[in-house]
Amino acid sequence: DIQMTQTPSSMPASLGERVTISCRASQGISNYLNWYQQKPDGTIKPLIYYTSNLQSGVPSRFSGSGSGTDYSLTISSLEPEDFAMYYCQQYDSSPPTFGAGTKLELK
């Protein structure tokens, strides 16, 4: 199985700050990389698919990039509702696998 390593595991940040979360795959995944947001109540929301495509309704402050084994999620200016868990997930190879998550916390 492809291992997905997310960094950092937690990140204190301030409102309005620009933040970047990284995700590294144990082998190349040809941009087959999604990002999800999970709120404390357990609700999971897809944010980005195929590395850089925003899901419908996702604010434009979210963006994704990367290639090969290295990918990232950037939030350009943090809003209060952005403090949550974030997960990357590859679907280049079966089974699909997830990163361990990044907890974005209010500083």
Partner 1 sequence: QVQLQQSGAELAKPGSSVKISCKASGYTFTSYYISWIKQTTGQGLEYIGYINTGSGGTNYNEKFKGKATLTVDKSSSTAFMQLSSLTPDDSAVYYCARSPHPGSFAYWGQGTLVTVSS
For the chain, the residue count is 107
87: exposed, middle or buried (Cβ count in 10 Å: 0-12, 13-18, 19+) = buried
The answer to the question of residue 17 lying near partner 1 (CB under 8 A) is: no
In the numeric block, which tokens belong to residue 64?
């994704």
78 or 90: CB nearest partner 1: 90
Minimum Å gap between C-beta 87 and partner 1 is 6
Which residues ranging from 69 to 88 are in contact with partner 1 (CB under 8 A)?
87
| Contact of 14 with 34, CB cutoff 8 Å | no
Conformation bin of residue 42: beta by default, left when phi > 0, alpha when psi is -120 to 50? left
- Least CB distance to partner 1 at residue 51 (A): 12
Q: Is 100 in the site for partner 1 (CB under 8 A)?
A: yes
Binding of residue 44 to partner 1 (CB under 8 A): yes
Interface with partner 1 (CB under 8 A)? 32, 34, 36, 42-46, 49, 55, 87, 89, 91, 94-101
